[in-house]
Amino acid sequence: MSIIRIDGGRRLYGSVSVHGAKNSVLPIMAASLLACGETVIHNCPSLSDVDAATRILVHLGCTVSREGDGVYVDSKTLTRSDIPHELMREMRSSVIFLGAILARLGEAVLSMPGGCELGPRPIDLHLSALRAMGAEIDEEGGNIICKAKSLKGCRINLAFPSVGATENTMLAAAKCSGTTIITNAACEPEISDLQSYMKR
């Protein structure tokens, strides 16, 4: 095993540029679907998951461009409500688009998510929260088919503080009539970042 030895007692100086967090960027990219206009995400890391999320947005009809560390998303042209298997399997967190698509278009068809080899990530909490808000959900042939003429705010008690379920519930609740209260919600930094974006 390698050893890192640090001899202290010396003044530190200089500066370090810190990249934005992928876990914050991905739900904000999904939330851009709710904006019905342009979103600019600064300090966006250049990672495969960000590229996968970009391909999903483009498939849905959005215009996406990158300049330096900024990602520009224009969701005015959102036209599709489906994400095919070949795009869903590129990253495990692709299910985060479910709540935003459903809230914006009233329907969403997604295949089961794929991605890294961290084992199964059940999405039952996501689906039960959406059902509580009034969504009708069927699972057919490996696809999740969601429909909702109108979503209604309600109290949702998550069985455990799942980050993804909290994010999906927040995104769907943004277009709900009434107030949605999430108890046992996750409180990771990416939840706070998503909240800050949604309040703008």
Q: Which two tokens stand for residue 180?
A: 């949605």
Give the angle subtended at the CA of 56 by the CAs of 134 and 106, to the nearest 5°.
20
Residue 195 domain flag: no
Residue 178 domain flag: yes
Residue 38 domain flag: yes
Close Cβ partners of 63 (under 8 Å, ≥ 6 residues apart): 72, 73, 74, 77
* 176 annotated active-site: no
Judged by DSSP in three states, 117 sits in: coil
Q: Which residues pair with 144 in a beta bridge?
A: 110, 139
Domain count for the chain:
1
Residue 162 domain flag: yes
Domain coverage including residue 30: 22-115+122-188
Per-residue pLDDT of the chain (200 residues; tens, 9 = 90+): 689 888 888 888 899 888 899 999 999 999 999 999 999 999 999 999 999 999 999 999 999 999 999 999 999 999 999 999 999 999 889 999 999 999 999 999 998 765 444 445 579 999 999 999 999 999 888 899 999 989 999 999 999 999 999 999 999 999 999 999 999 999 999 999 999 999 98
Rounded to whole angstroms, the Cα distance separating 82 from 144 reads 10
Residue whose C-alpha is closest to residue 164's, from 26, 42, 55, 63? 26
Name the pTM for this structure: 0.89
User: What DSSP element (H or E) covers 104?
Assistant: helix 97-105
Residue 62 domain flag: yes
Among positive and negative, which fits the CA dihedral 45, 47, 53, 57? positive
Domain with residue 32: its CATH number is: 3.65.10.10
Residue 55 domain flag: yes
Rounded to whole angstroms, the Cα distance separating 71 from 186 reads 26
Choose, from 36, 116, 154, 176, the residue flagged as catalytic: 116
Residue 93 domain flag: yes
Residue whose C-alpha is closest to residue 47's, from 111, 116, 110, 95? 116
Residue 53 domain flag: yes
